[in-house]
Structure 1
Amino acid sequence: MNGGLQWFTQICPPRVWWFPLKGKLRVVFVDLDGTIVNFHLELERVVSVISRIFSPYVPKEFFANGPPTLEMIDQATQKLEKKLDPHRSEKLKQTAIKAFKREEFRALKNLEPIDGAKEALEQLNGCYKVVVVTRKTRPVAARALEVLGVELPLIAWEDTSRHKPFPDPLRLALQQLKTHPWNALTVGDHIYDILSGKRAGTYTAAVLTGVCTREELEKVEPDIILPTFPDVVEWLLSPEDDLSE
């Protein structure tokens, strides 16, 4: 057990009652962006591109209220439907979706693996069933895993009609694996990952390599918070039940 990880868990301890259940885990669901890689998506550029498509019907400020996502495009389209005919609204929506996907592909040029993530995934995959569950589209997510140098099952945007923080992607993965939620751990950097995991009935582990702070993550009460994904894997593969020992 490395000293840094031991120190961290002493100041941010996991829920002690969870540790005896570690031996029951069979499946690990892993988020992509912010957990095992960083996309470094240029948010200002994406907002500019998408808002121009919907201008003047939807103000640019609407897209600045949070990271631009495909859900945000859906919400903007709903606003359009009050002002334009359905055919015109759908055409603008599809144009915006294509533009968003182009920006995600563009971000692949700046893709940065989280330190130690590849090796941690390889270790984990030898002991558990590992599935990557992401809000990214399948082509983008598949390319990111290729750049990372791993080949893993993938649940992507196209696979469900609702996405994190809803439980649907994880429920689909559980169904495909024919396993129970209490045998699964969801790992992610965002509150959406944790909420999705909790709503699906899995155990949850948060990491601090993404956009959310520890304080933000603590509010949604993950079962454990650790600095990085490799630290989560180190704990999972450790014979010790309590990291703070």
Structure 2
Amino acid sequence: MRRPVVLFDLDGTLIDSGPIILASMKHASLTVLGREPDEELVRSAIGGPGLIAQMRDLDPDRVDELVDAYRAHNEPLHAELEAFPGVLDLLDVLRGEGRRLGIVTAKRLRTVGLAIDRIPELAKMNVVIGAEDTERHKPEPDPVLEALRRLRAEPAEAAYVGDSPFDIRAAKAAGVLAVAVGWGGIHPDERLLREEPDALVHTTEELYAALGEPGTT
């Protein structure tokens, strides 16, 4: 099996959460700062070092207020979350082949839990790495490497699948196969391609092919 360990980003990769992230960023900025944020700036930061860093970019003096406003707006919206089409079926196929799967995200574990409550199939992951699990976050390799450490796996055995430039950089820095997905709705293909992923895919069938079939080397 070419990649017996497959790690996934959460937002924009497994779950279609881009719209609620953007809505909550807009709400926080309007509520706290009285102005709409620069949407391109917001989009470009999604998937990176985390919410606090994003809010620091909006206003470094009002980070706590912005974070509180964001979370108050965002958490109830998890009741509307859906997985991207075909993703859960692909996870079942990979799991049935004996591959070990994981989530590596910049979200807090509590917030990951809200997504799992909405989409219980995500609870079947072998490992979940959230914001609390490493001091450094994507694009640093630490979260990906922590997932591998817990799975007792080597980078050469693994792939990391994500929808943002930060995911690709983290994967490459960790020495795992870097697979970008183009269905996230936040980062355009050209931005992803600038990071030189090992593959850019737009369907779950293409993703399966990029991961390699069981028994291949």
The normalised TM-score by structure 1 is: 0.71
Is 1:156 aligned to residue 130 of structure 2? Answer: yes
- In the other structure, the counterpart of 2:191 is 216
- Which whole-Å CA distance do the structure 2 matches of 1:45 and 1:24 have between them? 39
Q: 1:47 aligns with which of 10, 26, 36?
A: 26
Distance of aligned partners of 1:113 and 1:216 in 2 relative to their CA distance in 1, 3 Å threshold: same
Q: In the TM superposition, what are the counterparts of 1:20-59 in structure 2 within 5 Å? A: 23-39=1-17, 40-41=19-20, 43-50=22-29, 52-53=31-32, 55=33
TM superposition shift of 1:209: 0.7
Aligned equivalent of 1:228, options 171, 180, 203? 203
Residue aligning to 1:200:
174
* 1:66 is aligned to 2:37: no
Question: 1:24 Cα shift?
Answer: 4.1
Change (3 A) 1:176 1:45: closer
Percent of residue pairs identical: 26
Task: Give ranges in structure 2 of 5+ residues lacking alignment.
Answer: none
Q: 1:187 Cα deviation (Å)?
A: 0.6
Q: Deviations over 1:85-126 (max 9, x none)?
A: xxxxxxx54333232222331331331211111111122123
Q: Which amino acid aligns with 1:208?
A: G
1:186 counterpart = 2:160: yes
How many residues are aligned here?
205
- Aligned counterparts of 1:120 and 1:204: Cα–Cα separation in 2: 18
8 Å contact 1:30–1:131 — kept in the other structure?
A: yes
Match of 1:130 in 2: 101
Give how far 1:235 is off. 4.8
- Superposed CA deviations along residues 173-199 of structure 1, whole A, max 9, x for unmatched, are 122222221211011111111111011
- Structure 1 pair 47–201 and aligned structure 2 pair: CA distance change class (3 A): same
Aligned AA (1:162): R
CA distance in 2, matches of 1:34, 1:213: 12
Instruction: Indicate the SS of the match to 1:38.
Output: coil
Structure 1 unmatched ranges of 5 or more: 1-22, 81-91
Q: Contact 1:27/1:183 (CA < 8 Å) preserved in 2?
A: yes
Tell me the C-alpha RMSD between the 2 structures.
2.8
Q: Do the aligned residues in 2 keep the contact of 1:35 with 1:228 (CA within 8 Å)?
A: no
For the Cα contact (< 8 Å) 1:132–1:155, is it kept in 2? yes
Contact 1:194 1:206 in 2 (8 A): yes
Structure 2 Cα separation of the partners of residues 51 and 158 of structure 1: 28
Matched residues in 1 for 2:114 and 2:203: separation? 22
Quickly say closer, same or farther: Cα 1:161–1:33, change in 2 above 3 A: same
What corresponds to 1:166 in structure 2?
A: 140
Give the alignment's TM-score, normalised by structure 2.
Answer: 0.80
